[in-house]
């Protein structure tokens, strides 16, 4: 079967390993359409075997709702796909246009959603979403909660619950790179934005005893404010802010940690949809601590510690528990990797996606 997948997220090199696995499966002829950049993130062409990577320009780069691919219709006419997999939310212009173009060439459209809040959008986005709902042969939701939101919004077609991306367990694997400085190494990797709860993390560490250090890895608008808060709290000498690094560099950075923390805080218009860095750390046998925001508890399961979101005292207690118990850290690390191998590898997600394609081709609802 001929598949065309559209995805801005696949500018990230580590994500492309999923394409190699999917393209290598029996009966799959895969073309992936990606932009040359998404926002400030340039395309990292790293894993390119077993499928075709079609780099196509987009209009309105960085605008989540309005961006769309140029000249997509021509590519679809050339490939003549059986399925067009639009790896975007159903209310976005990119999804609406790609779905129309898929229908025009006789392909079966499929869309993806992470949206886990009950929100309705104004016209024209609501109109575009309704068209996508009517036209799509199937939807993939990144979580059960996102699937429930789809039903609430009126989508009546088949829904598969599959995370958007897994990880490569050979890339994210246990390492022996941790510095031997004796300090309890706490880390965070991701966007430096308010909803990620980083001020909660700083407040929690302020009262943490013993020798510790914190590394915040990423970029975002809160960089200066976080540095200022650390200085006001008197912990700035223990806190390091490092810029974002290429995706394949993340495993080496994770290996330096004793614990990875994702302290996300739910907002009226956002809650954590997955927390990919959690499974990257878990696969690396780095124990994780996450808040109760959104999907975090379901990702971690029994392979890490959970604390009530926006509660620095509870987070501090979890950090103290891990700092004092190396055996617990090792046990959670083992559990984390086992959980990822069972649920969150590229192979697992690719095979689940292939089953969706086969059901679409067979007309199974």
Following DSSP, what letter does each residue of 67-124 receive, concatenated? -EETTHHHHHHHH--SEEEE-S-TTSHHHHHHHHHHHHTTPEEEEEE---S-----TT
Q: Quick one: fold of 184-343?
A: Rossmann fold (3.40.50)
Per-residue pLDDT of the chain (365 residues; tens, 9 = 90+): 999 999 999 999 989 999 999 999 999 999 999 999 999 899 999 999 999 999 999 999 999 999 999 989 999 999 999 999 999 999 999 999 999 999 999 999 999 999 999 999 999 999 999 999 999 999 999 999 999 999 999 999 999 999 999 999 999 999 876 666 789 999 999 999 999 999 999 999 998 999 999 999 999 999 999 999 999 999 999 999 999 999 889 999 999 999 999 999 999 999 999 999 999 999 999 999 999 999 999 999 999 999 999 999 999 999 999 999 999 999 999 999 999 999 999 999 999 999 999 999 998 66
Distance CA 107, CA 94 (A): 16
CATH code assigned to 2-166+345-362: 3.40.50.2000
Could you give the residue range(s) of every CATH 3.40.50.2000 domain in the chain?
Answer: 2-166+345-362, 184-343
Give, in order, the Cα–Cα distances in Å from 236 to each of 214, 217, 259, 319.
9, 15, 19, 18
Backbone phi and psi for residue 136, each to the nearest 5 degrees, phi listed first: -70, 140
pTM for the structure as a whole: 0.93
How many other CB atoms are there within 10 angstroms of residue 181's CB atom?
Answer: 8
């Amino acid at each position: 079967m001929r598949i065309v997948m559209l995805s801005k997220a696949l500018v990230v090199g580590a994500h492309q390993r999923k394409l190699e696995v999917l393209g290598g499966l029996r009966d799959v002829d895969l073309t992936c359409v990606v932009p040359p950049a998404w926002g400030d993130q340039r395309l990292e062409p790293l894993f390119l075997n077993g499928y075709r990577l079609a780099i196509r320009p987009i209009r309105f780069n960085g605008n989540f709702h309005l961006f769309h691919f140029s000249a997509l219709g021509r590519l679809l006419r050339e490939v003549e796909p059986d399925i067009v997999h639009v790896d975007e939310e159903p209310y976005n212009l990119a999804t609406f246009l790609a779905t129309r173009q898929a229908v025009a060439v006789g392909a079966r459209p499929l869309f993806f959603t992470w949206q886990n809040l009950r929100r309705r959008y104004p016209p024209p986005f609501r109109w575009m979403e309704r068209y996508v709902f009517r036209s799509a042969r199937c939807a993939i939701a990144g979580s059960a909660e996102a699937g429930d939101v789809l039903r609430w919004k009126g989508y009546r077609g088949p829904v598969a619950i599959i995370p958007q991306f897994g990880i490569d367990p050979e890339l994210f694997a246990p390492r022996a790179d941790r510095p031997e400085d004796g300090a309890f190494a706490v880390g965070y990797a991701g966007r430096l934005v308010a909803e990620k709860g980083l001020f909660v993390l700083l407040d929690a560490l302020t009262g943490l005893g013993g020798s510790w250090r914190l590394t915040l890895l990423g970029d975002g608008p809160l960089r200066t404010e976080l540095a200022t808060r650390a200085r006001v709290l008197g912990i700035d000498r223990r806190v390091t802010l490092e810029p974002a690094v290429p995706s394949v560099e993340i495993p080496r950075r994770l290996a330096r940690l004793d614990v990875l923390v994702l302290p996300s805080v739910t907002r009226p218009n956002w809650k954590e949809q997955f927390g990919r860095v959690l499974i990257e750390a878990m696969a690396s046998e780095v124990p994780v601590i996450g808040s109760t925001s959104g999907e975090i508890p379901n990702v971690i399961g029994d392979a890490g510690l959970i604390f009530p979101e926006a509660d620095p005292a509870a987070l501090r207690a979890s950090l103290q528990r891990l700092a004092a118990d190396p055996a617990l850290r090792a046990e959670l690390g083992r559990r984390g990797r086992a959980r990822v191998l069972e649920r969150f590898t590229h192979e697992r997600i690719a095979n689940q996606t292939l089953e969706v394609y086969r059901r679409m081709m067979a007309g199974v609802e």
